[in-house]
Amino acid sequence: MASQKSLDVFYEPNLRLTQALGLIGYNAGYSARPGQGTFDQHQQDLVWRLLGDAPIDKRARVVDVGCGIGGPSSWIFERYQPGLLVGVEYCPSSVREAESRWAGKPVRPSFVQGDAHYLPLADNSVDVIFNLESALHYSDKRAFIRECRRVLRPGGMLCLGDITTTHKVLFTLARLVNLIDTQFSTHAKLWSARDYLKCFAETGLKLVVHEDVSREAACSLDEGLAPLFRDGMGKIPGYRGRLLYLVLMERLLRRGWMSYDLFRLTKPLV
């Protein structure tokens, strides 16, 4: 895993961008058809698409690993009112931002700083693990998936959405930007969907759903960014570089150089 400082530097423009746009999350979103809803709605739609029929009720214990500034955690908590919802986030600045949104509210999710490779959770203690657009930063995805299996109760569900690629050589070369901490230093280590499926099988998790939503994520990004560019780049100082980064992501998804994969898996009862 990259240092907390490195990822704070990478995500700081995202935080400023969401604040400027009045958003509480920063995932790519899901849009099946152009012109259907706002970017905020698209981001929520991606959360619901990934969760599917995950077993969340008022007794459920839910963990959002890599919760960022708490957007999906908040949406899940407000919709389902689970018995417990914990957001685990590596970057201290993101934990503080997530906490600030719920300050003073008696019924709320909780947010803790933690490493996805070593989840601060007991064995067989969680009903649903949610992990969206975070695992691309994990240096040892196998360790994370083993941790998910450890903390899930039998019959529990892992809902994982991540950016993947089969063009690993290209993205390995792109990691040269990680030599210096900048807003472009993603410290990403991308797997292919096949890598994930192999690891799930080796770890003993049962695949329920695998869906490629690259087209829908690209459509969402295109719609979300278009108004900003129509208004003119001069009106958006401070995070122009991040907008160009997101445009590149949209192009790569649309042209098949990257994919956006959603997985739902269960831990066997026996």
Strands 126-132 and 152-164: parallel
The pLDDT of 100-118, averaged and rounded, is: 94
The predicted model gives 100-110 an average pLDDT of 92
Distance between CA 106 and CA 157 in Å, rounded? 28
Task: Evaluate whether 23 touches 239 at the Cβ level (below 8 Å).
Answer: no
Judge contact between 31 and 202, C-beta under 8 A.
no
**Statement: the pTM of the whole predicted model exceeds 0.95:** no
For residues 65-79, give the mean pLDDT.
96
Interval 96-115 mean pLDDT: 93
> Is residue 1's pLDDT more than 80?
no
The stretch 110-136 carries a mean pLDDT of 96
185, pLDDT greater than 80: no
pLDDT band at residue 60 using 50, 70 and 90 as cut-offs: very high
Give 182's pLDDT tier (boundaries 50, 70, 90): low
Looking at residue 15, what is its pLDDT?
Answer: 72
Cβ proximity of 128 and 159 under 8 Å:
yes
**Digit-coded pLDDT (tens) for 30-48:** 999 888 888 899 999 999 9
Domain extent, residue 258, equals 4-266
- Element at 251 (helix H, strand E): helix 240-255
Region of poorest pLDDT, from 13-27, 57-71, 179-193, 225-239: 225-239
CATH number at residue 17: 3.40.50.150
For the chain, give the mean pLDDT: 88
User: Which is more confidently placed, 25 or 240?
Assistant: 25
**19 or 211, higher pLDDT:** 211
In degrees, to the nearest 5, what angle opens at C-alpha 16 toward C-alphas 33 and 18? 30
Predicted confidence (pLDDT) at residue 64 exceeds the cutoff of 90: yes
Q: What is the pLDDT of residue 256?
A: 94
**165-174, 180-189, 232-241: range with highest mean pLDDT:** 165-174
As for how many domains the chain has, the answer is 1
CA end-to-end distance (rounded Å), the chain: 32
Region 63-80: what's the mean pLDDT? Answer: 96
pLDDT tens by residue, 232-253: 555 555 566 677 778 889 999 9
